Amino acid sequence: MTYTALSLTLIFVFIPFILSKALHLGLEKDIFIATARSTVQLLAVGYILSFVFEAESAIFMVLMVSLMIVVATLNARKKGRWLRGITWKIALAIIAVELITQGVLLGFHIVPATPQYIIPISGMMIGNAMVISILFLNRFRAELDARADEVELLLSLGGTPKQAIHRQLIDAIKASMIPTIESQKTIGLVQLPGMMSGQIIGGADPIQAVQFQLLIIFALLTCAAVSSTIVGFTSYRTLFNERMQLHH
């Protein structure tokens, strides 16, 4: 695609801009910011990627993945400020997801060990681990707010903190995995997944595009299960003190 062609796509920005003005939606500024940011951010990533792909050393790739992990962690921890030390637990979960998925994909030579594969797949796994962690933290908080009396009941009957919070923990882990599983049930029926569409538009064989998409959605299942389980099981203890009392 030429840059002339690309600039013509600004028509798609212009239409909502005019609509926003005409209908007094007051979104003009946001539309402008969104357009400017996405352009700058994506172009920057594009240039960085070409640099990393051409670089001889793998260090740039490692740096880039590390940066993704840091940004994802800082983003997810906002939802977990009520849990002491949550930052490290989210980081641990995301790193575990990254290691497991890349370990399988590279270890069994399922994809070539080049930045062209490692970076985009890492991006998807890390981004998803972040979203799942946020989903888990929101749900866990809601479960605890709604069912604090059950936790107190189990403690009062002589249960340990782990026993007392087990149901809420399991329900929150389950709830955070469900969207991933459900979305995969209807995948491809209406909307083609973004990565697959991109490959097909880019001229790849549809079957090969499907194979890669399957690889990704299977990996996303692991991603969801591992990240919510790790965040959950490493963090619930901080809700209790050493006298096995629930913090207020």
Nearer Cβ to other proteins (21/174): 174
Nearer Cβ to other proteins (172/217): 172
For residue 87, the minimal CB distance to other proteins (Å) is 25
Nearer Cβ to other proteins (27/246): 246
Find residue 240's DSSP bridge partners.
Answer: 246
Nearer Cβ to other proteins (30/152): 152
Please, what is the angle between helix 115-146 and helix 161-185, to 10°? 130
* CA–CA dist 106, 103 (Å, integer): 6
Nearer Cβ to other proteins (212/240): 240
Which SS3 state, helix, strand or coil, does residue 246 take?
strand
For residue 233, the minimal CB distance to other proteins (Å) is 19
Tokens linked to 31: 């539309």
Residue for token digits 């697959």? 196
Residue for token digits 């797949």? 121
Residue type, 4: T
For residue 177, the minimal CB distance to other proteins (Å) is 20
Please, what is the angle between helix 86-107 and helix 206-235, to 10°? 150
Which DSSP state fits 240? B
For residue 154, the minimal CB distance to other proteins (Å) is 7
Q: Name the site residues for other proteins (rule: CB under 8 A).
A: 149-150, 152-160, 163, 167, 243-245, 248
For residue 153, the minimal CB distance to other proteins (Å) is 5
